[in-house]
Chain A
Amino acid sequence: MRLNATTNMPLNRLPESKPDLKKDKQDVVIPAIEMTDLCKVYSGETPVNALHNANLEVHDNEFFTLLGPSGCGKSTLLRLIAGFETVTSGNLKLFGEELSALPPEKRPINTVFQHYSLFPHMTVLENVAFGLRRQGKSERDAKMTAKEMLDLVQLDQYAQRYPKQLSGGQQQRVALARALAPHPRVLLLDEPLSALDLKLRQSMRVELKRLQRETSITFVFVTHDQEEALAMSDRIAVLSNGRIQQVSDPATIYEHPENRFVADFIGDANFFDAKIDKVDGEFTRYRLSTGDILLGPTTEARSEGAEVSIFFRPEKATVSLDLTGGLRGRVKDILYLGDSTEYRIYLADQSEISLKAENLKDGSPLAEVGTDVAVSVDPNAIRVLSR
């Protein structure tokens, strides 16, 4: 059976799925997870400060993503929530109750591990029933619920197999079923898609999103893949060097990053050092280090002469052979990407920028390598950051 062929099928209903309580008590919203000044220091010869004063709220019934490069603290955060690491200082609450003192088995939180970590000596059914059995359910009830969970991830016919006999994608689904079976209040997913190939990864994105909606369980998803994070999340927390950089919905993260790290890590960006030349109502003239003037939005609390950093996304700019306006440059490289074409352009000071044009027609390039072009950007697409 091809796994990715099944993802378009409607999912079966989750057994015993709880009614959505959220709507009834809109006035008192208790966050699913709430951390205040959460710190984690790994002791050792050289103590590692893995997490600095994290303050974060994850809402109930939310698909929340922790995004960042490796070593940014996202896995530490996940392990703190799961209980595999002890909190150094700060508070960690689950629906208002302090978690820090509870061992992992006492937390109504389950994890989908990066490498699935299925028990190799148990059948698929026994794996899925494990958490239910340990919760004190009878063998009959546990197996029945486990079967329903396998049904939910469309693996019911593999119940009697051993994990080794399944493909990576199937093991992934078993791991999901196993973690969802005991009805956790929060499901943690530790880069669960990183070991799958591209096609399967894409279909699993849809599947995970659907499972989250279907089960109304809060998902906390850890990834370093920005595309994955943008595609699936209700909200994203971007982490770097053990600090939370920004928490917002995907569009805000992409369109209005709060600092250079977020702007750089999510998507591509062309950065310039600039000085505010003249504030003129809604728009401001920015003088770039290249000497060019770029019109951008006026930001609060920045006066003329202030040094700022400005950037725009490659797809927000257009390249034109008409040299009357915009930034002047010369085409250095043209990369044909199928759905779009990327132009790498040298500016006057030899700095390089990139811009992307969608291939709406036949994809033949707008300019040749070596030709002089003008790059123009809609002033509303320019973003200004403090330097």
Chain B
Amino acid sequence: MKKNDRDIRWLPGLSWLTALFFLFLYTPLLVLVVFSFNASRSTTVWSGFSLEWYHKAFTNDAIRVATQNSVIIATLAAILATTIATSAALALARNKRMKGKQAFHGAMLLPLMIPEIVTAVATLIFFSTIGLGLGLGNIILAHTVFCIPFAYLPIKARLESMDENLEMAARDLYADKWATLRFVTLPLVMPGIISGAMLAFIISLDDFIITLMLAQAGSTTLPIYIYSFVRVGITPEINAVSTILIGFSVIVVSVSAFLGRKTAS
């Protein structure tokens, strides 16, 4: 088959459509970022460059506490979720004769398909029924649970692309199961684990609905804070905080994707 036959570029207007698509996707973000540097209070009229709003955001105690909460929650939730996801991936990938393997696999990924508001309400009802009042702990628990499938996918992909003979070779060379896990399996799966952890971190950091349901006084996270702030009125300060959040997310996701791509090679 000729290469051109499969090239999608023969479609008329493809380049225009693509340009429009990206314009549509990124213009709002671009506007938000640009106006975070605006010298005036307006978020619609440009009146000169300034870092004033960044300064304000950094000196705002409420933002500082919210950021701190977000980072604590995301870090712990990512660590817990990744640990559980790694164990699950190992159990499912290295257990050939396990019964109901597909069912387990499906159960791992089901949370991805359940509407988040349902999970949020269910979690809220569950926590209040058992009377769990751990403050940030409640949110960390809830985040851990919905982060597991996100952490699980890259780890599973990495494990499946790994040559199982390597583990056999390790056993052959006097490494027991633990030594094989420690010196061969884990180092080789590590890019997948890191990728999974970063994905979980970002998902937790960005989460709004579940956190909103569970957040009590003193456990406000950054997305909740931004939401409550916007309801009062939009200032470039929000733009500044959002820009930082975007930048941070882009960096983490890029690293995650980069490590994930090494899986393929």
Contacts and interface: CB of A to CB of B under 8 A. Distances in A.
Interface of A: 82-84, 103-105, 109-111, 113, 115, 117-121, 130-131, 134-135, 178-179, 182
Contacts of A103: 171, 176
Contacts, number: 60
Contacts of A131: 173-174
A363 B179 CA distance: 61
A115 B187 contact: no
A82 B172 contact: yes
B31 interface: no
Contacts of B179: 105, 134
A130 B171 contact: no
B175 A134 contact: yes
Contact of A113 (B165, B187, B188): B165
Contacts of A182: 173-174
B54 to A, nearest CB: 42
> What's the interface size class on B, roughly?
10 to 19
A111 B169 contact: yes
16 contacts: A83-B171, A103-B171, A104-B168, A105-B173, A105-B176, A110-B173, A113-B165, A113-B169, A118-B169, A119-B188, A121-B187, A121-B188, A130-B170, A130-B183, A134-B179, A182-B174
A130 B187 CA distance: 14
Interface of B: 163, 165-166, 168-176, 179, 183-184, 187-188
Nearest to B168: A84
Nearest to A175: B169
Contact of A117 (B169, B174, B175): B169
A81 B171 CA distance: 13
A119 B169 contact: yes
A115 B166 contact: no
Interface centre among B173, B176, B179 (most CB of A within 10 A): B173
B190 to A, nearest CB: 9
Given A105-B172, A130-B183, 18 more contacts: A84-B171, A103-B176, A104-B168, A104-B171, A105-B176, A113-B168, A115-B163, A115-B165, A117-B165, A117-B169, A119-B169, A120-B166, A121-B188, A130-B173, A131-B174, A135-B174, A179-B173, A182-B173
A148 to B, nearest CB: 17
A182 to B, nearest CB: 7
A116 to B, nearest CB: 9
B97 to A, nearest CB: 8
B26 to A, nearest CB: 38
A117 B163 contact: yes
Contacts of B184: 119
Contact of B172 (A111, A120, A121): A111
B169 A105 contact: no
Nearest to B183: A130
Contacts of A113: 165, 168-169
A117 B173 contact: no
A179 B172 CA distance: 9
Contacts of B163: 115, 117
A364 B85 CA distance: 72
B175 A105 contact: yes
A249 B237 CA distance: 86
Nearest to A121: B187
Contact of A134 (B165, B166, B173): B173
Contacts of B165: 113, 115, 117
B53 to A, nearest CB: 46
B188 A104 contact: no
Contacts of B188: 119-121
Contacts of A120: 166, 188
Nearest to B180: A105
A130 B184 CA distance: 10
Contacts of B168: 84, 104, 113, 117
Nearest to A164: B265
Nearest to B176: A105
Contacts of B174: 105, 131, 134-135, 182
B84 to A, nearest CB: 24
A104 B187 contact: no
A110 B166 CA distance: 13
Nearest to B165: A117
Contact of A104 (B166, B172, B183): B172
A115 B169 CA distance: 11
A145 to B, nearest CB: 13
B50 to A, nearest CB: 49
User: Quick one: which of A103, A131, A135 has the most chain B CB within 10 A?
Assistant: A131
A104 B175 CA distance: 9
B172 to A, nearest CB: 5
A135 B173 CA distance: 8
Contact of A110 (B172, B175, B183, B187): B172
Nearest to A79: B168
A82 B173 CA distance: 10
Given A103-B176, A105-B176, A134-B179, A117 B166 contact: yes
Contacts of A121: 187-188
Nearest to B190: A121
A83 B187 CA distance: 24
A240 B7 CA distance: 50
A178 B176 contact: no
Nearest to B179: A134
B93 to A, nearest CB: 17
Contacts of B176: 103, 105
A384 B165 CA distance: 44
A119 B185 CA distance: 10
B192 to A, nearest CB: 13
Given A103-B176, A105-B176, A134-B179, A119 B171 contact: no
Nearest to A130: B173
